Structures are given as C-alpha cells and as structure tokens.
Structure 1
C-alpha cells in the first residue's frame, strides 16, 4: 500500500517504503547542492515508487554516454507502470525524465518548466530543466524556470545559485552577482553560486579579484560530485592562466582538474579544455595529453551532446589518436545527416559538423581549413551548449588559426575587443604584442606590453 509523505522541500511523495524518503532527499538535496550523495537514491532502487525509479533513471542519464538510455530504461518502465497511483507532480516528473530517456529534450524541458509554474518548490525539476536548456544554449529558458521558483523557495540558497548562473548566461551580470552573493550569504558552501560569480568576474576582467574569491571559498568544495569539484578548480585555473601563472595552472591540472573521475564526460572535457588553453598560451604541457587520449579512445561515438563530441574529437587529435579522431569525425558526420531536424538536427548539421572539421584541421596544422570551417560555426556556437567561458576555447583556437594563417588584420579585430574587456590579462597582452608587431605597429605592441608592467 503506497504511503503519502513529503520531501525536504515540502513536495508530496508517494512511496512504498518509508525508508525511501531519506534516499529521495539525498537525491533532491544532493542534486541541487552538487553533492555526491545524490547517488544514494540507488540504495532505494527496490522501491517501485515512480519518483524513486525516475530519480534512479536520471542518475544513469547523467553519465552522458550513448548507452545511458539503455541503463535508465528499466527504471523508467517501473516508474511509468506505477505512475497512475502517484501525485500529479510526480507524474510530470516521471514524464519529463521519460522524455529525456527517449531523446525528446524539447518535451522534457517544457515539462520541467510547467512543473516550475505549478510546483515551484520542486527544485530538482528546476535544476534538471536548466540542465536541458543549458545544453541547447537556451539561457533565457534557464532564467525563466528559476524565476518561477524565486518567491516560493526564497530561503533556499541553491535556488539563488541557479538564478545567478542563469542571469550570467543571459549577460545580465549585475543581477547574476547579486543573486550569487545572496546565495553565499545564505550558505557559504554553495558551489554553484561560487561558479556563477567566477563567470561574472572573468567576464568583467576582474581577474585578481576572481582568483582571490575562489581561493577564499575552495575549502568548501568537499563532498561534491566530480563535475562540480573539478569544474570549480578549472575556473580557478583560468584566472591563473590569464595572469600567466603557468606553473600553478599545471599544478592544479595535475592535482584537482584531472584524475577525480577520468571516465566521466565532464571531467574529460575540463581536462581537454585546460590543456588546449595552456598550449595556446605557449605552455609546454609535457606528456599530459597521452593520459586523456587513452581514456577518450575507449569511448564509443556517443553523440549525446555536440559540445561533448567537439572536445572529445579535439582531445583525441591533440593526443595523437588520429585514427580514433577521424573515426569520430566521420561518425559525427553520419549522425548529423540522420539527425531529426525537428529536435536538434540542424545544430549537428550546421554548427557541430563545421566546428568538428575546423577543430580537426587545427590539430593537423591546416590553418586555412581551420579558419574556413570555424568561421562558419562560431557565430552559432551557442547552440551546441556549454557556457560562455567554455565556448571561449573555440574562439581561442580560431584566433590561433588566423595568426598561423597570416590573417593578422582579422586577428587584430578579434583580439583587441578581448583585450579591452580583460585589461588585467597578461595572456591577451602577449598575444596582442605579437599581432601588432606582425602588422608593423611596433609602437602599439610596446604600448600593450607596457600596460601590464
């Protein structure tokens, strides 16, 4: 006989085992707080309650692998079988996760947004809806969902962290900073708010302040899931990289960014991105690509998210796994050709595919092809997902290709606005010096170099 109770946020639950409520709370609280304890819901997997089963399915989907739906589907079948006896809120949660498992992300996101309107304290649903919107580059959708929950869950710090990141991705930086600071006042250990504030400070060129802020809170990054802990350390490394503190970046790469969960998608792309940025900044990374390559080479072509595929491809190529990189590029092209245009086919075909060709060409040293293909993709790169800070990697690669191809005027037009926005960046100042020297403007080159002395 099902029993009625509530989760820790006051949302009604229908459970078969009273002990499952603690495991559901582990999922809900752990998910919105980016804590590893979210996986404890799997301990309740024998409870046929629809909410429990859908939470277990969602955990499998977060693996972001091609076989994740197959791993999640048995849980979804049990969830759907019992959904008629659950509450209307639980039925919508089950339907949203089922849509995700079936690959219908637009339907999943729409259901999460409806849930936010009707049950604004269902913050796990809000968070998952934001995840889907983020992966499609829909930052206004992320913000819309979080705003729907703002009044009903005003006392929950993690909701303000969700708001902060959504504001930031919409380029509304003052609102983002206010929301992040409010979240941190409510709870100092709010890693998603730390992450959002790091984005704001990086975007505004507050490099020294941003580094000092992360150093002041990184003692709280404990008990987190591997993505959150490695990604926040990745952000700290970005500040150091802009300040030319290369040995410290390498030390963070070795101790914090790479090695927590080497088989996990997000840990892999953090590592690929940071090594690539180091090399573009002129740093010798030694043999570090080899270990990433070994892990990427064991992947089957997943095609779960275009943003992931692009970095897998570049990582394989930079690690010297040319056969695997070429196979992934060809598989990606085949996937793009058969992708459903009504869902996300145009992104794979018109954005991801030319970007993949450009990244592969760059890794090969074919600068002209890299410029040509990346030039097509870059204006629409937001559609592949990822944050502004993450997608900046593709602009850095494009800029490098322009320079290597002798397109100095185009490079100057791309680089100088970045220098204006980041006056503390020693990395950008060095690059500008090279560009202006090549353009026969040594006095400008000297001026740029002296601005940071």
Structure 2
C-alpha cells in the first residue's frame, strides 16, 4: 500500500496518483496555486482513489466552488468500500463540513487527530484564523486554537506547515518573539509557504515593525501567483503598512490591483472583509474614499452575503452598506439573530449606521460594550483593529483625547508611537 508524505497509508496502487495527491495537499497547506490541477491528475491516474476526490473537494472550497466541492466529496463517499478506517473517517469529516455542520465537523476533527495526528488535510480544518475554531464565536477561541496546534507539535513539529499555523496561534496570544522564530523556521523549510509569509506579516505587524514588514512582504510577493488564495489578503497587509506610513498612492495601488472585489482572487469572505476594512481605515486616517468604492463593496456584500449568519463577514458587510447609504441592507444585518456571534453583530452594525450619520456619541455608546469581547467575532488582532481604531476615532471626535490615549496604551500599545487616526498625535 502506498503512503502520503506524512506516512499515512493510501488506498491506491498508483505511484503517479500518490505523487499528484501529495502535490495537491502541499498546495492546500501552503496556500499556493495549483491544488485543483494536482488533484485532477491524481484522479486521472486512479479514478477510484477516494482521498484524491476529498482533496479535489477541499481545492474547490478554496476556489469558492461549493457545488463542485459537494459533488467531489459525494464521489469520495461512493468509493469508501475496502479503504482504511482513517480514509473513511476523512471522507465523513469533509461530508459534515460541506453539509453545513461546523460543530459536528469540529468535534470529529478533534477526535480524529487523537488517532491520526499526521492526517494534515483533516487537522488543517481546525487551524488558521478562518478554521472551525477561529470562526467558532467562542470566548477564548484564540487559546483553544493554540491548544489544538500545540497537541500536534510532538507529531509534526519539524513540518513547515505546522510550524506556520502553530506560530500564528502563538502570535494571536501575544507571544511574538516565539511566533517570529516559528515563522522563520517554517520559511527556512519552505519559503513558498504563503501561510508562513502571511503569519510572519501578522507577527511583524503586532511588533510594530512597519518598515521591516513592508520590505519583507514586498520582496516575498514578487514570486506569488496572483491566482493564489492569499494574494488579495497579503495585498491588504501591504496596503495597511503603506497607509500607516502615509503612502496613499501605494495604498490605493494595492487596493485597486489586489484587494478590491474586482481585482482579488480571494474567497468572498476575504474580499468583503479586506475591502471594507481597508476603505474604512483609509477614511479614519484622513483619506478621501470615492463613494463608488463603497457602493461596489455594498453591492458585492448584497450578492454574496445577502443572508446574515457569518458574523465576521456580517460586520464588514454592514460597514459597506452603511457607508454606501443602503439603510435597508444595513437593517437586515442589525436585526438578524443568526450567526456564531450574532449578539455582537447587531451593535456593531448600529455603530456603523451612527458613524455614517456622524453621530459619534451614539456610535461610541453602541460600540463600547462590544470592546470587551470582540475576539468572538473572528479574525486576527490586526483585522479587529478596525474596531479598536473606530473606538479611538469616536473618542477623538467627542473631544475625549485623554481617554483615547489611555485606550491605545492599554488595549493596543502597538500604536503608541503612531496611531493611524486623523488628528491623533502621540
């Protein structure tokens, strides 16, 4: 019986299928372009290879082709006769995931890795900011994600993929020197790992290393395929650093060429969250944002997130609707009760409505209770700076500079030397 790169037995006799399968898994783990083609070659070499169809399903998910993903996992389900228990379980986990059962899928993943800790295509589902733990809406989700990756370290601690996702989890709990070391180790093993590059960028952001981060990412991005999963989001990181340094031309270039929904090849979730966050942070910093950009994002949100339920997307869609003046779309989100952190979505949506009206006292009143636990909404610390900086802006607009200074010093000291809010002087 053949084995994959991680030593897991595979129910195929085709050497060619295994080689293509390993390539596809590597593309998934590194967020590089080519997974769909690799898994297609694996299936061509052995049409009865169930896990190649599971890989094709995962690749289709990252291509935002949910119909294709469901069809691929259904084909895998029809091929489970005579394959190993691990492979049957993997098919079942992806079936749960694609059936819209995230709680059950997470429970199955956590049980699965106890027996098969090197089954990375399964383990990957619960890692990263947008994994089942990251988007759970639970209090303490960052610690839970770190606990999950830490459990894998004794089994995969020399692997470039796990070093990067464990480093991300370490970064999000504030252990920055350790996180940077893990990223450097990961990238030394595989410099093409976009997850490693991405999480290194997050760590440098948290360290306040704007110059170093901007230089690093600019160099690394030269070799990254524009069609790859993280190109748009890494462009967002570049744009944020340009904005912090007052380089408006570069910020707009990154937005137009890599972040805007018409330019980005990212998933819809990234397109709405990155686009709305960058435009609003540009406005906070004092730049003029063309109204048509807000209208474009609002229309995109209405197309792809018409029904509230994904809380992290919802707060960004609400921002786009508020700034575009679409009160009806904003109200649908503010009044919704679905989603893993729906109790926080409503006040954030109403905050954006107040901001758009220039009612800073109402915006502050709505936003303040959210600040105690906004990690439940999802996203990284860098992404939730959208809320932190809005809170500072509200305080500034209400003449509460001393309180704004205390907020920065106690909540986000990374900005102590330079807060990207118009009128704020450290």
Residue of 363, 367, 378 corresponding to 1:374: 367
* Counterparts of 2:423 and 2:265, CA distance in 1: 34
Q: Distance in 1 between matches of 2:301 and 2:201?
A: 28
C-alpha separation in 2, matches of 1:362 and 1:62: 34
Mapped partners of 1:425, 1:370: distance in 2: 23
For 1:234 and 1:260, the matched residues in 2 are separated by: 10
Secondary structure at 1:282 match in 2: coil
Quote how far apart the aligned CAs of 1:249 are. Answer: 1.0
Shift of residue 224, structure 1, vs aligned partner: 5.7
* Residue 290 (structure 1) aligned with residue 287 (structure 2): no
Q: Is the Cα contact below 8 Å between 2:5 and 2:22 reproduced in 1?
A: yes
Q: Which residue of 1 aligns with 2:424?
A: 432
Alignment partner, residue 279 of structure 1: 283
Contact 2:58 2:69 in 1 (8 A): yes
**Residue matched to 1:319:** 324
For each residue in 1:119-167, what CA deviation from the matched residue of structure 2 results, as whole angstroms up to 9, or x when unmatched? 2322222221111112226223322333333343344322211121111
Distance 2:23 2:174 in 1: 33
Structure 2 counterpart of 1:190, from 174, 189, 193? 193
CA contact (8 A) 1:116 1:148 kept: no
What SS class does the counterpart of residue 21 from structure 2 fall into? helix
Q: Are positions 1:238 and 2:240 aligned together?
A: yes
Taking a change above 3 Å as real, the CA distance of residues 222 and 75 of structure 1, as seen in their structure-2 partners, is closer
Post-superposition Cα deviations, 1:198-226, rounded to whole Å, max 9, x if no partner, equal: 22222122222222222332223226623
Matched residue SS, 2:287: coil
Matched pairs, number = 414
Deviation at 1:72, TM superposition (A): 4.4
Looking at structure 2, the residues matched to 432 and 159 of structure 1 have their Cα atoms a distance apart, in angstroms, of 40
Cα RMSD (Å): 2.9
Match of 2:8 in 1: 11
Structure 1: unaligned runs, 5 residues or longer: 337-343, 434-447, 449-453
Deviations 1:43-79 (A, max 9, x none): 74994544234334434544679xx4x6644444443
| Compared CA separation, residues 218 and 63, structure 1 to 2 (3 A) | closer
Find the aligned partners of 1:290 and 1:355 in 2 and give their Cα distance. 20
Distance 2:310 2:369 in 1: 19
Q: TM-score, normalised by structure 2?
A: 0.86
User: 193, 210, 214: which one pairs with 2:213?
Assistant: 210
Q: Does 1:395 align with 2:388?
A: yes
- Contact 1:351/1:384 (CA < 8 Å) preserved in 2? yes
Q: In the alignment, is the contact (CA less than 8 A) between 1:316 and 1:324 conserved in 2?
A: yes
Give the one of 118, 122, 139 matched to 1:121. Answer: 118
How far does residue 307 in structure 1 lie from its aligned partner after superposition?
A: 0.3
Q: What is aligned with 1:255?
A: 257
Shift in CA distance, 48/353, structure 1 to aligned 2, threshold 3 Å: farther
Aligned residue in 2 for 1:384: 377
Cα distance in 1 between the residues matched to 2:198 and 2:327: 34
* C-alpha spacing 1:262/1:210, structure 2 compared with 1 (3 Å): closer
Structure 2 unpaired stretches of 5+ = none
1: CA distance between counterparts of 2:324 and 2:185?
42
Q: Corresponding residue for 1:161? A: 164
Aligned mate of 1:422, from 391, 415, 422 = 415
1:173 corresponds, among 154, 171, 176, to: 176
CA distance 1:309–1:420, shift in 2 (3 Å): closer
What secondary structure does 2:80 align onto?
A: helix
Query: Partners of 2:82 and 2:246 in 1: how far apart?
Result: 59
Deviation larger for 272-281 or 72-81: 72-81
- Deviations along 1:162-198, one digit per CA (max 9) or x if unpaired, are 1211111122112111100111222222221222222
Superposed, 1:304-383 pairs within 5 Å as: 304-330=309-335, 333-335=336-338, 344=340, 347-348=341-342, 350-383=343-376
The aligned counterpart of 1:51 is: 51
Cross-structure match for 2:228: 225
